[in-house]
Amino acid sequence: MRLALLSVISATTLQACGAPRSEPVDPQVVLVGQTQDAAAQQPSFASGLRLIVDVDCGRELQTRRDDRVDRIARALAVSFQLLPVPTQALSSDVLARLDAKVGIVAQGADGFLLRAMDPADQPLIDQVIAKECSGEWRLWSQANSPGVACRVQASAASAIQQSALEQARETVARRLTASGLGGTVTLRGTQLVLEVASAQHAPEDWKQVILQGGRLEFRLVDDESDFVAAFARSVPQGQLPDTVRFESESVPAGPGRYRTSVFATARLGAGESLVSARDKLIRLLAILDLPATRRLALAKTSRFDPDTQTAVEDGWRTYVVHSHAEIAAIDLSDVSAQPEPMGASGHAWSVRLRFTEPGAKRFETLTGGNVKRRMAILMDDEVHSAPVIMSAIGGGSATITIGASASSEADARRLVMLMRTGAMSARLTLNTEERR
């Protein structure tokens, strides 16, 4: 499934990621797909399935870290007179100028370090971080380390992880209901136990859909930096893995400006899977030195197959995107699937997004401040497209095209189901499956 932003037309709220609950129950069970009376009768799962699912909550901590880094970066940009107000989104050129003033380095999923490039600026940085590193965050002293560190408090980290676990349980329960499957979802430690009464008539990929994160995000692409180009120059000739290359493209970097952007690719070798090619690229770039304000994201590449007259996925490529997602699922009030007019390759389908009022304003401000720059559309951390913003986009809604293929309608409806049932901050991995 490939997502691409088409246009914005016009502007209730989806489940917020990590929304806290006030009544923890252990074990925690949600009965789904039944009436309240039937649920009280404890259904039999003798002919169903039991799935044991591992829940990794590290991403929620990372998201909190990225949001705090963005907040501090905006405050610093204002202090250095690089940004007029802290409510304005950080463009790539502002981030590039901020990099010359302060180094912001991630330290694990729950902390970061700030260091002035000019020691004379350190007092200003200390002043900003003393104000912004508050609440669930606290200053962290490090012996023999320049700069100042900020880390989430242990008690807050535990609460964040528990919230992410409960959110995963509730989201999986909603998806079981939306998919027409009855059963229970129980939280045991850091695992979910799914008891599914019957999956006999469920779609073949129902387990993948139920456990998918469903995190739709809009992130600015950083085409101002040369992080990948610098890394490419540091790799000794002949040391690249087979099928991995560094390539370049000319991209817009604001009105009337173009830059040459370097990116890494991993094409499929003979008999190689997409997972293997992706992992090879990730291992190579693991030592890429990025500030905490940026992250590396991957997108599938494709080639045209003249025999089938279709695009065939043939590997991966990189994008450097902003760590903070300016627009996410929490900014949507509704989503719907709709067919597009018949084209040469058949019916394409699209998904219409309606923003909340604050989300619509932020989206218009974001696009208006980044005209002639790229914005990546990500689903579960994978870039599906990176269109160029041509003008400020107002009206409160956007349309995402799925493309024309035999599965486009199913893909569109699946995307709608994922977003309506809520995005998960946790990563879910199927551990074991048992037939009852």
Residue 299 has pLDDT above 90, yes or no: yes
Beta partners for residue 320, in sequence order: 296
- Taking 60 as the threshold, does the pLDDT of residue 28 lie above it? no
Q: Report the distance separating Cα 417 and Cα 46, nearest Å.
A: 28
* pLDDT score of 45: 38
Out of 187-196, 316-325, 406-415, least confident range = 406-415
Query: pLDDT averaged over the chain?
Result: 84
As to burial, measured by CB atoms within 10 angstroms (0-12 exposed, 13-18 middle, 19+ buried), residue 178 is: middle
Confidence check: pLDDT of 227 > 70: yes
- Rounded mean pLDDT, 312-332: 93
Q: How far apart are CA 387 and CA 436, in angstroms?
A: 48
Proportion of the chain above pLDDT 90, given as a percent: 54
User: How confident is the model over 63-89, as a mean pLDDT?
Assistant: 93
Give the model's pLDDT for residue 201. 59
- pLDDT band, very low/low/confident/very high, at 148 (cuts 50, 70, 90): confident
pLDDT at 158 over 80: yes
b (16+ CB within 10 A) / e for 244-275 = bebeeeebbbbeeeebebbbbbbbbeeeeeee
Of the ranges 303-307, 353-357, 368-372, which one carries the lowest mean pLDDT score? 303-307
Checking if the pLDDT of 21 tops 70, the result is no
Higher pLDDT, 403 or 328: 328
Give the least confident one: 58-72, 90-104, 172-186, 402-416: 402-416
Categorize the per-residue pLDDT at 38 as very low, low, confident or very high, splitting at 50, 70 and 90. Answer: very low
Q: Between 33 and 74, whose confidence is greater? A: 74
For 337-362, what is the mean pLDDT?
82
Q: Give dist(CA 399, CA 385) in Å, integer.
A: 13
Cβ 267 vs Cβ 315: under 8 Å: yes
Q: What is the dihedral of CA 378, 383, 385, 388, to 10 degrees?
A: 80
For 373-383, what is each residue's pLDDT tens digit? Answer: 999 999 999 99
- Of 27-41, 193-207, 308-322, which one has max mean pLDDT? 308-322
Task: Write the pLDDT tens digit of every residue in 418-431.
Answer: 888 888 889 999 99
Can you list the positions of beta strands (E) in 60-101?
A: none
Looking at 58-62, 139-143, 305-309, 387-391, which range is the least confident one?
139-143
pLDDT at residue 3, as a whole number: 54
Asked if the model's pLDDT at residue 15 lies above 50, the reply is no
- Using 50, 70 and 90 to split pLDDT, how confident is the model at 358? very high
> For strand 183-188 and strand 28-32, is the pairing parallel, antiparallel, or unpaired?
antiparallel
Does pLDDT of 102 surpass 50? yes
pLDDT digits 0-9 by tens, 114-130: 999 999 998 999 899 88
Cα dihedral across residues 200, 205, 207, 209: positive or negative: negative
Domains of the chain and any CATH numbers: 4-9+217-405 (no CATH), 29-58+156-212+428-435 (3.30.70.3400), 59-152 (no CATH)
pLDDT at 27: 34
d(CA 378, CA 199): 30
* pLDDT at residue 66 is higher than 90: yes
Using the predicted structure, report yes or no on whether residue 46 has a pLDDT greater than 70.
Answer: no
Asked if residues 348 and 404 have their Cβ atoms less than 8 Å apart, the reply is yes
Percent of residues, the chain, with pLDDT higher than 70: 84
Q: How confident is the model at residue 363 (pLDDT cuts 50, 70, 90)?
A: very high
